[in-house]
Chain A
């Protein structure tokens, strides 16, 4: 490790080279593991060009991806925007894998490379390795191998069955990508001995609780038997099922094995990205807080020149800039801004709490351990729960958050809560809900299918707050489902609470030519 006395800059000037990068990396590592206590996967830093960055954008950031036209479309869009100067490119892309791969662009100045290494190679990396969602759902060691497999598998399928056939399956699978995740850890399969034991237990219980009288109670007759049959069928198919891709992969009667495998590939990739969707604010907040701390420490200890520090601050402030809602630049709440502000706020609460903080956060206020508190938060929360737990009145006032009620049946929007004593709870709860994927993705489930009859697949959309599905898109997706399922598909939208049917979409028949 490099030992530097105060006044020795790690680098000067804007150009970067490999020596400078490894020197900077060592210094950053020292601060990251020593002061911040970060625990990371081994790092791999890859230098890429603009074009490669656009490539990476198009294939959802992954270094290896199977071929599909939609990636070409996204590439064309990104490229056009970039060429017209409408959009800058990210300074880095980081991949949740082990070793953790960070792409840095060759255009970046040395200061930016330092920032990027602190941000991605340590901030994001730590988050990937330690957050419970990532631990539970992703396999950082295996992902690159899996993608390699997926790419070559799909390539083989294309050779064997033709590009068009594979594309049709992929199109359909992509349409259902958001419905290809298991939201809860699944029950582990019992082994035989365990099952035998449970069965004996059940039998023993039945014998114990046997009452002959029950035999004499009249049964419901035919209706009841039919209901039982339906219940039995649903049980066998594990219905209702919200993982549509999983359901189709396992149960669609007409799919060939390779088609099922493709659904599985898309599902696995979707599942891999599921944690990232739920932790945007935290992930960026964590990485931003880490780079902010590290850059400041480097500057304080005289390893970063004032010029570099100014350059850093310039890009840092533009990254965490949050325009107001009435600003033309406003495009939603900036996850970097919110995440970073919350991390800094937690630090403040731990070190210099006010009376209010002591009331709102009795467990952490003034505990003088911001490091431990943050590490704990990064490991054990996702956006929704993190905001619910840690958004402080102080920050609500600082960002001047307010809550609006938008009811499509009324001509006006209503301000329901603002940054005052009465509003804090409501604002916080409501903001947390905005980050709850269970709320963001419409809740659609397979509820029934008559395998012995006409095999019609019935889906239900559980509607909350009267938010129905966009008709045209829904029809497109249903068509894809019908193609995969091979028989008619019907979607019913019901009120989640009252079970009233709100809307029935027309039944859609499969296009026999496609799959």
Chain B
């Protein structure tokens, strides 16, 4: 008999099967994932999710008998009162066969399983890509950190490596046989002793010459020689920024309805997910504005209204201020998404444009403007004030995009449309 311990065998033997299954189930899983995502808070959305999908979507057909027709004989255990010839009412639906166990879940309405966070996001975001993302973060040259890279024989005194230096010094002193201080002291002691007693002048003479020789040697062979000295060496390594901050800007003036805010929330959520997928840490900053802007928490952002006029540039100013105070561009990838119904005070437009072009866009990896409208609006959309202003900035090469959305169903298509992979490559080649 052999006993083999298989517990340490590689795990996830069925991983390949699971992936195949998910790919197969993709369509159903995607629907389920979308549905699930509608009900969550922005920052929670990326957690794993229990998904249930219809079983018949993945059925494996087999020839099987139709349960509802035909004549069958059934033998059952546990007769209590029946005698031959008894007639029994057919139990509801299932025939006289007791509860129909479904051994492999077939025949159940749906089955449930848990998607891991990665699987969930993979499916949710399918084949979208952030334009220009990877290049920016890796090749940005002003964003470098020194990293230890061995030792060198030259350098600034502050980088002196004592241990290395002393080690070299010690080995050199041993190799060249430099007298140790103890040896010299012993020599001196003996000389002093002989001088006091005066009974061995020959040895005294010898010792004095010896001392002379040793002292000369000490002077010739230095304790620390320039060849011993070593410095820590550093190389400048570009540091990929692994954190991102996402600014959500929204107009909260009276003209923004609940519906519009809901649209905006969905869009922000998608963007968050998308960014969170690429960076280790993602901060979200909510800035709402009327005729003045302020940074608020998520709850206030979505659920409280303010009255006042609409001056969009205040929001950009606030964003600029927050970036300057908390998010140095060297360390942070900055994304911004703005949602608005398109209203702005006309006099603010030139200032807004200037601010966007000169200050905000250079800071950002990507700036998306989403114009939300009422579901009831039909026909060709009115060219709003803000839209016309932004149109001057928008052109394909830039990291700026603008879209219009009216109902929930549009959000995802619009989002996809913004980040679809082929577009990303176009953007990448022009940049």
Name A's B-contacting residues (CB within 8 A): 18, 21-22, 25, 29, 42-49, 51-52, 54-55, 58-59, 67-77, 79-81, 83, 99, 103, 106, 121, 163, 167, 171, 174-175, 177-179, 322-328, 330-333, 399-408, 411-420, 422-423, 427, 430-431, 433-434, 441-442, 444, 461, 465-477, 480
Contacts and interface: CB of A to CB of B under 8 A. Distances in A.
Contacts of B61: 175, 472-477, 480
Given A72-B22, A469-B63, A399 B78 contact: yes
Given A470-B64, A473-B62, 8 more contacts: A22-B3, A69-B21, A80-B113, A324-B78, A403-B74, A415-B87, A423-B84, A467-B65
Contact of B17 (A67, A77, A417): A67
Given A42-B1, A331-B98, A67 B75 contact: no
Given A408-B70, A411-B90, A21 B76 contact: no
Most chain B beta carbons < 10 A, residue from A45, A76, A400, A406: A76
A331 B21 CA distance: 29
Nearest to B56: A472
B29 to A, nearest CB: 11
Contacts of B77: 322, 324-325, 333, 399-401
Q: Which of B22, B23, B75, B88 has the most CB of A within 10 A?
A: B75
B64 A418 contact: no
B7 to A, nearest CB: 5
Contacts of A106: 7
A465 B24 contact: no
A328 B72 contact: no
A54 B15 CA distance: 12
A430 B73 contact: yes
B contacts with A: majority SS = loop
Contact of B70 (A324, A326, A465): A465
Nearest to A474: B63
Interface stretch (B99-107, B199-207, B210-218, B274-282): B99-107
Given A99-B2, A430-B73, A468-B66, A171 B60 contact: yes
Nearest to B89: A412
6 contacts: A332-B97, A399-B77, A399-B78, A406-B71, A415-B87, A470-B64
B16 A404 contact: no
B58 interface: yes
Interface in B38-65: 58-65
A332 B25 CA distance: 32
A174 B72 contact: no
Contacts of B112: 80
B135 to A, nearest CB: 32
A470 B21 contact: no
B171 interface: no
B75 A431 contact: yes
Nearest to B17: A72
Contacts of B1: 22, 25, 29, 42-45, 121
Contact of A79 (B4, B66, B113): B113
A94 to B, nearest CB: 14
B71 A327 contact: no
B68 interface: yes
B111 interface: yes
Interface of B: 1-7, 9, 11, 13-14, 16-25, 58-80, 82-90, 95-99, 101, 104-105, 111-114
B70 A404 contact: no
A330 B98 contact: yes
Given A52-B9, A399-B77, A427-B75, A44 B2 contact: yes
Given A401-B79, A413-B88, A43 B2 contact: yes
A67 B17 CA distance: 6
B19 A402 contact: no
B181 to A, nearest CB: 63
Contacts of B19: 72
Contacts of A442: 63-65
A72 B113 CA distance: 11
A247 to B, nearest CB: 15
Contact of A470 (B66, B78, B98): B66
A44 B4 contact: yes
User: 6 tightest A-B contacts by CB?
Assistant: A324-B78, A476-B61, A72-B21, A467-B70, A72-B17, A325-B76
Contacts of B97: 332, 406
A404 B66 contact: no
B87 A414 contact: yes
B6 A473 contact: no
A331 to B, nearest CB: 4
A109 to B, nearest CB: 16
B20 A72 contact: yes
Given A333-B75, A400-B80, A406-B72, A412 B66 contact: no
B70 A468 contact: yes
B99 A328 contact: yes
A476 B58 CA distance: 12
Given A412-B87, A434-B75, A467-B72, A46 B63 contact: no
